[in-house]
């Protein structure tokens, strides 16, 4: 079993920026490193599309996952929608197999954080969900644009909480297979 973990954005593309200046790319990279460590501790092989704060294009991310013969692909992002407008967590998928993975990951994220459940979203317009050969999901772990969410995302404890929740959901999914 191999899981490809994708930290969204990176390098010259910092992704969304919170009102306090926190960049999405840095937050999700930390979550991804913790997630990889947690999965490896559970004898689940992982590899990351990026190990550091560098830019990797969408096509290259998919190529890394496909050439690495990952069984599953998880991309981690932070949402943004203007300050104080939106809150919550959602998980995106394209295929039915992706939805099967998205369900326990979303449930574990909501259970761990108590955040608003924005549900599962079927998306056909995202390159990383379209060009990966394996079931894939994209977890939006919170609205970095919301000051209170940004404050939580800034802390190592909350980043680890998110990583643990994603790991729990994935492990639950794999145990059912």
pLDDT in tens, 86-142: 999 999 999 999 999 999 999 999 999 999 999 999 999 999 999 999 999 999 999
Mean pLDDT value of segment 62-89: 93
Distances (CA, A) of 25 to 9, 22, 32, 133, 177: 5, 9, 11, 24, 32
Question: Looking at the predicted structure, is the pLDDT value of residue 83 above 90?
Answer: no
- Tokens representing 25 are 């790319």
Confidence of residue 52 (pLDDT cuts 50, 70, 90): very high
* Cα Rg, the chain, nearest whole Å: 15
Question: Looking at the predicted structure, is the pLDDT value of residue 177 above 90?
Answer: no
Q: Are 28 and 8 in contact (CB under 8 A)?
A: yes
3-state SS assignment for residue 151: helix
Percent of the chain that is helix, strand, coil (3-state, to 5) = 45, 25, 35
Which structural domains are found in the chain, ordered by start?
Answer: 2-176 (3.40.630.40)
pLDDT score, position 87: 94
Which of 142, 71, 157 has its CA nearest to residue 106?
142
pLDDT above 90: percentage of residues in the chain: 95
Question: Looking at the predicted structure, is the pLDDT value of residue 84 above 80?
Answer: no
CA distance 141 to 165: 10
pTM of the prediction? 0.97
3-state SS assignment for residue 36: helix
Question: Looking at the predicted structure, is the pLDDT value of residue 82 above 90?
Answer: no
Tell me the pLDDT of the chain averaged across its residues: 96
Mean pLDDT value of segment 26-55: 98
Question: Looking at the predicted structure, is the pLDDT value of residue 85 above 90?
Answer: no
């Amino acid at each position: 079993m191999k899981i490809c973990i994708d930290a969204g954005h990176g390098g010259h593309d910092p992704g969304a920026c919170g009102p306090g200046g926190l960049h999405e790319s840095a937050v999700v990279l930390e979550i991804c490193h913790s997630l990889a460590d947690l999965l490896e501790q559970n004898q689940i092989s992982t590899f990351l599309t990026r190990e550091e704060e560098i830019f990797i294009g969408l096509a290259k991310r998919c190529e890394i996952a496909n050439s690495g013969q990952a069984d599953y692909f998880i991309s981690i992002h932070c949402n943004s929608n203007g300050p104080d407008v939106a809150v919550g967590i959602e998980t995106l998928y394209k295929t039915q197999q992706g939805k099967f993975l998205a369900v326990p990951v979303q449930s574990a994220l909501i259970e761990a954080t108590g955040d608003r459940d924005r549900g599962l979203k079927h998306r056909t317009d995202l390159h990383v969900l379209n060009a990966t050969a394996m079931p894939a999901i994209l977890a939006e772990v919170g609205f970095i644009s919301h000051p209170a969410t940004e404050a939580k995302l800034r802390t190592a404890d909350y980043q680890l909480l998110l990583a643990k929740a994603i790991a729990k959901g994935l492990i639950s999914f794999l145990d059912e297979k």
